[in-house]
Amino acid sequence: MRPLTITTREAVTGPVLEITGDLDHETAPELRKAVDDLTFASGQLLVLDLAGLAFCDSSGISALLSARNLAIEHGGRIALAAVPANTTRILRIVGLDQVFAIHPNAATATARRSAAG
Amino acid sequence: MMCRTDQSAPEPGEEQDVDATDAVFTSLLEDSAEELYEQAPCGYLSTLMDGTIAKINTTLLDWLGLERSRVVGRMRFADLLTVGGKLYHETHFAPLLQMKGEVSGIAMDIKTAGKQRMPALVTSKVKTSEDGEPMLIRTTVFDARERRAYEAELLRGRKAAEEARRQAEADRIRLQEALAVLQQSLLPPELPEVPGLETGSYYHTASPDLLGGDFYDLFPVGSGRWAFFLGDVCGKGPQAAAVTSLTRHTLRAAALHDADPVTVLNTLNTVLHDRYTSGDTRYCTAIFGVLEPDDGHFGVHLASGGHPSALIQRADGSADYLPTPGGLLVGVLPQASFTAARARLLPGDTLLLYTDGLTEARTGPDRELYGDDALRAFTAAQPPAGPKALITALSGLLASFGDGLDDDTALLALGVPAALPTPGAKV
Amino acid sequence: MDGKLAGMDIRRRNNVTVTGRADGPVLLLAHGFGCDQNMWRLVVPALAESYRVVLFDYVGSGRADPSAWDERRYSSLEGYAQDVLDVCEELDLRDVTFVGHSVSSMVGVLAAAKAPQRLSRLVMVAPSPCYIDDEEYRGGFSAEDIDELLESLESNYLGWSAAMAPVIMGNADRPELGQELTTSFCATDPDMARVFARTTFLSDSRQDLKTITVPTLILECRQDVIAPREVGAFVRDAIPGSRLVTLEATGHCPQLSAPQATLAAITDFMGAA
């Protein structure tokens, strides 16, 4: 059991949440809360950097979906970065790989926008 | 002693304090033994061995509201008590005093003026002569009104706590019974008999307290067709159980209306998406399919919403997935796509549906995920002996995971019985 | 109701003590309400010299087995009489002189009526067949008094249990009895004591006195709040051939406050038998 830690930083494109540890039934509410607490401007991109994600179950998936809904509600978008292999597998099975934009790392995720802007 | 008023004298104030203390002390010393006895904060009395009162102090007389002349030599100690006190005195207090020579802290009521009673604590001690002969009894009576009130409070509190505990217990039992009934209703039903088809199933909840989110069913949809589904609602507990219930009923109703698998999943998707708000996303994964009998075999038409692919165990001993890539979790997006697939179940073939509790179980020294490949290999290694045998083998596999299995697991196996070997046929 | 519980030893159930001359005439000493067989400790040594002395505790008192408690059974004197009969049968006692204190005297009356072959003599120590005044009968308590008593039992039961601590039994004047630690003296469960009290003080055994056919000795104290002098006379008049002895003692327990006089009266009565 690795505790969940969430570090928030600002990129040009919008907030980036670096998530490390286990994302499960117990810790999923923490991610929800972190996303809730963000100040999100319309048109911004929320990036979830999952490089340090050790474990993700269906509660974790729910938390990712909630984050997505919240971003959309605020008129923004969401992207996942550096998704670990196992989580990628799950996302593929449940078809969410077509719902989330997925990037190999946070740099790429945040670069894209600025290149276009 | 003269007080110095001379300013140059050291600390005149202090000297005056000493004077004051001395004065109080002296007056205390002048307090006679008599006054200490008569005005004591408690009641004193002395009686002969038969209880006749020989001496009694003013404090006690005042409590009793009696004149000394009426009491001394004329009344007994027991006469000062209420009926209950008298009885207690005769049956417990006096015998105890007789046996032990002293009794202390006994609660009794004394009769006070105006037919009132005063709760008291009584301590008595027998005074013996030098030869050990009992001579008289000395008794102290303490005003126990406060203590009695406190005891009454304690008793009241205790009774209330007892009552609350009883009530809580009754409530707990009622809730337990209600919960058991509800849980029963959420369990997958007994599978029906399907002509020409064998069935097997398995259902296990990791935690008996948390209602599971796995579900499956098998039911007729007319024209000899049989619909089946198996799925997994996200989360656990009463919320998930409510979604499970809604999902099962929606799938059944939709199937009876139009059994096309993609259509059915679309209906479920709409229902779940509309029902639950963004603050409380509820979704599930599910496979829905229809079995159609056709000339000695069954056609399978199924669709998956984000659920692990079904596995087919073939009569020749092989095992392969029936892939349904790209199907989305059901209930997440307003418009979703679900991938359909078709297959044929020939005699000796078995279709296996499962929830990810099986493939996500942790096994081995490194606690790795069991995984899809291992499941396929395991199934292929089993002799193709029909659904029940396969379920039995998989139950054993699940049991072998021990605590590596921490999720709910549901299995549904549907198979066509192998053709009986005709006599004389070449193997 | 069958008094014997299957498998339960009566000796253990009623904390039976047997002492004295194994071949002597049998005295069965029965305590009344309040305390237990320890009430007799000042007279037992002398009695044991000449008699076979059997002591016991009623269920609900002393060190009798509390698990044998049955509120329905012990809400009637018949229940206590059954304890007496159980003890007699268990020890196969015959030609018994039953010595009952206070309400136990009436229990003895009931037992003697049921088992005349076992109880052949009665000694009543400070008896009373009925505690409540009634038209021409003076029991010593008015109906209000008894109500007040029962109410005080209800409300003051913490007080009743205050005397339940272990007691070191010593006897400065009878050092040969030695020092004993007894946890049982006056150690009654308050709920059981309440039932025993109700049963005792609401009982009316006046009619049962007529059934007595055996020689009976009645001991009363000169001054007894619980059993006034009128009661002693009433009992003597109700039992043909009975003898009433007034002891120079005050209080309700002459076996404690005047043990010598009590002993003398009993042995005198036994000698005459």
Contact B132 C173 (CB under 8 A): yes
Reference C40, options B128, B98, B115; nearest CA is: B98
- For position C260, what pLDDT does the model report? 93
Report how far residue B80's alpha carbon sits from residue B48's, in angstroms, rounded to the nearest whole number: 15
Which residues of B are less than 8 Å from A25 in CB distance? 235-236
C273 interfaces chain B, CB cutoff of 8 Å: no
Contact B328 A99 (CB under 8 A): yes
Half-sphere exposure at residue A64, Cβ-oriented, CA atoms within 13 angstroms: 29
Section C143-154 average pLDDT: 78
**Surface of C (230-269) touching B: CB under 8 A:** 250-253, 256-257
**Surface of C (69-128) touching B: CB under 8 A:** 102
C133 interfaces chain B, CB cutoff of 8 Å: no
The bridge status of strand A77-81 relative to strand A45-56 is parallel
Which residues of B are less than 8 Å from A58 in CB distance? 232, 234-235
Tokens at residue A46, please? 């929320």
Residues of B near C (CB-CB distance < 8 A)?
Answer: 49-51, 76, 78, 82-88, 90-96, 98-101, 103, 105-109, 128, 132-134, 151-152, 154-155
Contact B99 C32 (CB under 8 A): no
Report how far residue C34's alpha carbon sits from residue C253's, in angstroms, rounded to the nearest whole number: 11
pLDDT one digit per residue (tens) for chain A, 117 residues: 788 999 999 988 899 999 999 998 888 889 988 988 888 888 899 999 999 999 888 888 888 988 898 888 888 899 999 999 989 988 988 889 888 999 999 888 888 554 443
Size of interface B-C (CB pairs under 8 A): 107
Give per-residue pLDDT as tens, B383-411.
Answer: 999 999 999 999 999 888 887 777 788 99
Q: How many Cβ atoms sit within 10 Å of the Cβ of residue C220?
A: 25
C225 interfaces chain B, CB cutoff of 8 Å: yes
Q: How far is B252 from chain A (nearest CA, A)?
A: 22
Which residues of B are less than 8 Å from A86 in CB distance? 369
Beta strands in C21-143 (DSSP E): 26-30, 52-56, 96-101, 119-125
Is residue C229 in a domain? yes
Which residues of B are less than 8 Å from A61 in CB distance? 234, 329
C162 interfaces chain B, CB cutoff of 8 Å: yes
At residue B36 the predicted structure's pLDDT band, cuts being 50, 70 and 90, is confident
Residue C252 is among the residues annotated as catalytic for this protein = yes
A61 interfaces chain B, CB cutoff of 8 Å: yes
CA-nearest residue to B150 within chain C is C158
Angle at C97 between CA C228 and CA C5, to 5 degrees: 100
Residue among A25, A73, A95 minimizing CB distance to B328: A95
Contact B98 C250 (CB under 8 A): no
Phi-psi domain of B235 (left: phi exceeds 0; alpha: psi -120 through 50; beta: other): left
DSSP state of B197: B
Where is A79: in which H helix or E strand?
Answer: strand A77-81
A11 interfaces chain B, CB cutoff of 8 Å: no
Is residue C125 in a domain? yes
For chain A, the structural domain boundaries read 5-111
Q: How far is C252 from chain B (nearest CA, A)?
A: 6
ipTM for the predicted complex comes to 0.79
Domain count, chain C: 1
Give per-residue pLDDT as tens, B156-214.
Answer: 888 899 899 999 999 999 988 887 777 777 777 789 999 999 999 998 877 666 666 88
Residue among B95, B107, B134 minimizing CB distance to C35: B95
Catalytic residue among C36, C83, C86, C224: C224
Report how far residue C3's alpha carbon sits from residue C209's, in angstroms, rounded to the nearest whole number: 23
Q: How far is A94 from chain B (nearest CA, A)?
A: 3
pLDDT over 90 at C119, yes or no: yes
Report how far residue C236's alpha carbon sits from residue B248's, in angstroms, rounded to the nearest whole number: 88
Report how far residue C252's alpha carbon sits from residue C127's, in angstroms, rounded to the nearest whole number: 9
Tokens at residue B363, please? 């096994």
Whether residue B246 contacts residue B282, with contact meaning beta carbons closer than 8 Å, is answered with no
| Stretch among C9-13, C55-59, C94-98, C222-226 having the lowest mean pLDDT | C222-226
Contact B236 A25 (CB under 8 A): yes
- For position B212, what pLDDT does the model report? 67
A86 interfaces chain B, CB cutoff of 8 Å: yes
pLDDT over 70 at B353, yes or no: yes
Whether residue C249 contacts residue C257, with contact meaning beta carbons closer than 8 Å, is answered with yes
What domains are there in chain B, each with its CATH number? 17-143 (3.30.450.20), 187-415 (3.60.40.10)
Residue C145 is among the residues annotated as catalytic for this protein = no
Contact C223 B50 (CB under 8 A): yes
Contact B278 A69 (CB under 8 A): yes
Mean pLDDT of chain B: 86
Sequence-ordered list of residues with C-beta below 8 angstroms from that of C159, at least 6 positions apart, any chain: B88, B106, B107, B108
Which residues of A are less than 8 Å from B329 in CB distance? 61, 94-96
Q: How far is C30 from chain B (nearest CA, A)?
A: 14
| Stretch among A110-114, B201-205, B279-283, C211-215 having the lowest mean pLDDT | A110-114
Contact C253 B98 (CB under 8 A): yes
pLDDT over 60 at C146, yes or no: yes
Sequence-ordered list of residues with C-beta below 8 angstroms from that of C7, at least 6 positions apart, any chain: none
Catalytic residue among C61, C83, C102, C242: C102
A85 interfaces chain B, CB cutoff of 8 Å: no
The residues facing B230 across adjacent strands are B216, B287
> Do chain A and C touch: 3 or more Cβ pairs under 8 angstroms?
no
Q: How far is A115 from chain B (nearest CA, A)?
A: 29
Q: How many Cβ atoms sit within 10 Å of the Cβ of residue C135?
A: 5
- For position C213, what pLDDT does the model report? 92
Q: Which of A62-66, B400-404, C92-96, C250-254 shows the highest mean pLDDT?
A: C92-96
| Stretch among B15-29, B319-333, C177-191 having the lowest mean pLDDT | C177-191
Whether residue B351 contacts residue B421, with contact meaning beta carbons closer than 8 Å, is answered with no
At residue B278 the predicted structure's pLDDT band, cuts being 50, 70 and 90, is low
CA-nearest residue to B329 within chain A is A94
Specify the fold of A5-111.
Transcription Regulator spoIIAA (3.30.750)
Catalytic residue among C86, C105, C120, C252: C252
Report how far residue C157's alpha carbon sits from residue C149's, in angstroms, rounded to the nearest whole number: 12
Q: How many residues does chain A have?
A: 117
* Selected residue of B278, B282, B339, B372 to mutate for chain A interface (largest A Cβ count, 10 A): B278
Contact B91 C162 (CB under 8 A): no
A25 interfaces chain B, CB cutoff of 8 Å: yes
C155 interfaces chain B, CB cutoff of 8 Å: yes
Give per-residue pLDDT as tens, C19-76.
Answer: 999 999 999 999 998 778 988 988 999 999 999 999 999 999 888 998 999 999 999 9
> Do chain C and B touch: 3 or more Cβ pairs under 8 angstroms?
yes
- For position B209, what pLDDT does the model report? 63
Where is B217: in which H helix or E strand?
Answer: strand B214-220
Residue among B236, B333, B407 minimizing CB distance to A99: B333
Report how far residue C30's alpha carbon sits from residue C218's, in angstroms, rounded to the nearest whole number: 15
Residues of B near A (CB-CB distance < 8 A)?
Answer: 232, 234-236, 278-279, 281, 283, 285, 305-308, 325-329, 332-333, 336-337, 356, 360, 369, 407
Whether residue B410 contacts residue B233, with contact meaning beta carbons closer than 8 Å, is answered with no
Domain with C50 in it: what CATH number? Answer: 3.40.50.1820
Contact partners of B by the rule of 3+ C-beta pairs under 8 A? A, C
CA-nearest residue to B213 within chain A is A58
Which residue carries 């009395």 as its tokens?
A: B45
Is residue C170 in a domain? no
C159 interfaces chain B, CB cutoff of 8 Å: yes
Residue C102 is among the residues annotated as catalytic for this protein = yes
Reference B246, options B315, B164, B186, B204; nearest CA is: B186
Domain extent at residue C107: 10-130+204-272
Q: How far is B232 from chain A (nearest CA, A)?
A: 10
Contact B51 C156 (CB under 8 A): no
Whether residue A11 contacts residue A38, with contact meaning beta carbons closer than 8 Å, is answered with no
A58 interfaces chain B, CB cutoff of 8 Å: yes
At residue C173 the predicted structure's pLDDT band, cuts being 50, 70 and 90, is very low
DSSP state of C241: T
At residue C209 the predicted structure's pLDDT band, cuts being 50, 70 and 90, is very high
Question: Whole-angstrom distance between the N-terminal and C-terminal Cα of chain C?
Answer: 34
